[in-house]
Amino acid sequence: MNDQQLLRYSRHILVDEIGIEGQEKLLASHALIIGAGGLGSPAALYLASAGIGTLSIADGDTVELSNLQRQILHTEARIGQTKTTSAQAALSILNPECRVLPLPRLAGAALNEAVAKADIVLDCSDNFTTRYALNRVCVSFQKPLVSGAAIKLSGQLFVMDPRQPDAPCYACLYPEDSSDEELRCATTGILAPLTGVIGCMQAVEAIKLMAGFGTPASGLQRYDALSGQWSKSKVRKDPNCKVCTK
């Protein structure tokens, strides 16, 4: 690290669990964020400010006025721009050293390629189709996945590390053939800072994994904004999972 980097990241370096070695790992890391909305916004801001070397952000939507209540990467001046272009503009101001790669909505071979290039993936999407596809690709390429979700007044966090032999995947938690109802912010609403809580937790877990300190959050972590309480449920690897059990 040069003198400017030592100063910029000095508060990280002072943390014994991170230090210079951990910060250098962050600077050399590549994170992929799927979704530049309510969850992706705080996650991207904190990963960029923390010194992630390369940050790929994939999203196919444009900025709308209704996004601005919670999607803090974006501004009214950038309404109509693609969310990834808006994200790149915001993050370049925050930390010009962070290399931001805007990507369109990913599927198929493009998703495989993006995951293969990344060290870690953050699922900040808002639908099961994307989550299931992303889970499959992360299992295939043995990439850690930090998944977040938030709706109304509740949020959840799930960390998967397929490099660990007994680690459950997202499909162990929510089987692909399940009938779970899918809720959308556009029709059910959401408390604005709730996405900040979950998105920031995703950034924390991603940084821990990339810098190599601490223990990843285990099980399914749930946050109830109405009561201010966190709860945790154990998640075990499903021996019949069609995705991660071979």
The residue type of 232 is: K
Q: From CA 87, how far away is CA 181, in angstroms rounded?
A: 30
Considering just the CA atoms, what is the radius of gyration of the chain in Å?
17
Decide: 39 and 150 in contact? Cβ < 8 Å: yes
Question: In the 8-state DSSP scheme, what is residue 216?
Answer: P
Decide: 244 and 169 in contact? Cβ < 8 Å: yes
66-83: burial string, b at 16+ Cβ within 10 Å, e else: ebbebbbbbeeebeebbb
* Residues annotated catalytic, as ranges: 185
The two tokens of residue 17 are 């669990």
Q: Beta strands of 66-127 (E only): which ranges?
A: 99-103, 120-123
SS3 (DSSP) at 194: helix
Where does residue 35 fall: left (phi above 0), alpha (psi -120 to 50 degrees), or beta otherwise?
A: left
